[in-house]
Amino acid sequence: MYGFGITGVLSCFEADTGKLVWQVDSFEKLKAELPRFGVCCSPLALGNRVLVAAGGKGSSVAAFDADTGEVAWQALDEPASTSSPVLFAAKGKPVPDVVFMTTLRVVGLNPLDGAVGWEFPLPFQPSGTAPTPVVAGDRIVTSTTTNGSTAIRVAAGENPTAEKAWQAKALSGYFSSGAATADRLFRVTNTLKPAPRADLACVDLATGKPVWTKEGVGYFHFGVVRTGNGKLLVLDDAGNLKLLDATAGEYRELCSAKVGGGNQVTPALAGGRPYARDDAGIVCLQLAP
């Protein structure tokens, strides 16, 4: 397993024992400057590559050898945002793309060598915070504080092209990515004035039209993940874990439990068990049948 710390140290551990296999200061290796907000992206492990967003001339994105930690390739020149790389399998391509969102564009790269397969410009974006794109079918949905949410459709074929499917400027997120089902997008939106508030908006994935909105799900932040049976897990910034019906025509909370303290994280789901954490520790939960 791999970890990418806020100072840019990339580490590889044995999953069974936790033993450190290798560790590298990625910014020193890439001869890049650490962003003012530090490193916020999570690494993406794919085959024998570990992919990260760094930022800077020639090192905006980089891939490290999964076994040794040596630099496999580095590419692009623009500053990095706070989003993480995601995997996108375009129809008609034998190798899936790894998608990075920088401060200037969304770009699909070949994970083997960093070659650009397609790109979508994001003009007038601030350098800094941006949620990780959400992949749903043939669409990649981005969010920024200035232009709201934009759904990008990647056309099928050997040489894919990217075009805007829809844009909803009111769906402006700060750093929580949200989640998507086959036909719906669940976006975390933020209001800062007169008082902070985090809302959950459900929109039609095909059109961007609203289905429902629930205000005040979090004070400033909450994380949301999709389960495999038509539900959502939401962890709010007060430490409450909630199970929602993702198929309902309105906000429908099925159950909730206090599982921790204050946090700004997203819950994880593995092996049928949810995991949550705060500044005191991590908890693994058992869901009732």
Q: What is the pLDDT of residues 145-198, one digit of tens each?
A: 778 899 999 887 777 789 999 999 889 887 788 999 999 999 999 887 888 899
Residue type (1 letter), 229: N
Q: What is the pLDDT of residues 4-24, one digit of tens each?
A: 999 999 999 998 899 999 999
Rounded distance between C-alpha atoms, residue 82 and residue 129, angstroms: 5
**Mean local confidence (pLDDT), 99-127:** 86
Q: Which residues contact 229 (CB under 8 A, 6 or more apart)?
A: none
- pTM over cut 0.85: yes
CB-neighbour burial class of residue 281 (10 A; exposed 0-12, middle 13-18, buried 19+) = exposed
Average pLDDT of every residue of the chain: 90
DSSP states along 117-177: EEEEE-TT--SS--PPPEEETTEEEEEETTTEEEEEEE--SSS--EEEEEEETT---SS--
Residue-level pLDDT at 145: 79
Q: What is the pLDDT of residues 218-249, one digit of tens each?
A: 998 999 999 988 899 999 999 999 999 999 99
Residue type (1 letter), 212: W
3-class DSSP state of 193: coil
Rounded distance between C-alpha atoms, residue 7 and residue 274, angstroms: 28
